[in-house]
Amino acid sequence: MQWQTNLPLIAILRGITPDEALAQVGAVIDAGFDAVEVPLNSPQWEKSIPAIVEAFGDKALIGAGTVLQPEQVDSLAKMGCKLIVTPNTQVEVIRRAVDYGMTVCPGCATATEAFNALDAGAQALKIFPSSAFGPDYIKALKAVLPPDVPVFAVGGVTPENLALWIKAGCAGAGLGSDLYRAGQSVERTAQQATAFVNAYQEAVQ
């Protein structure tokens, strides 16, 4: 399996509002990101996501996070989403998204969940919450997973520790509060996005 973007970092813009969405997403894309998710517990995501898809769908893999129900996948497909990220391993959500041709990165913690997700068609795995398990846990889990499956660390990843997760075998990471917090300035988002891009490039040299 091959991760579909040039930079294997997913911008998680939890809490973003429609009136700031385009400026904030523009900032992370300008910094080098090409995968963005808006979690479905963000305000008025039904407005934000279609606007982001229309503005940046040709430049980045745009999608949704905290997707819990197959019916949500149906709605997101109509909006043009290409990426589905979940906090858990919900087989029906994964299968529905795969049927639409979407890239699916489901959350898992154990080998059982990971293999259930892969059996359902997931193309990548999100180890969540990574900070609770640590890089050594992911390294051990990677030992039993197919070597070509991209694994993303999500939860507690910072520019300062990103290299630890890459060294443990992660293809990349999903970046939440250390990249974007609801209400922060576009300038702050741009600064953090650049820090993460630089940290990734240094980690893989």
Task: List residues with catalytic annotation.
Answer: 37, 126
How many whole angstroms separate alpha carbon 181 and alpha carbon 188? 10
Measured between alpha carbons, how far is residue 143 from residues 87, 149, 154 in Å? 22, 11, 19
Question: Residue 26's closest CA among 178, 195, 189, 184?
Answer: 189
How many whole angstroms separate alpha carbon 97 and alpha carbon 115? 17
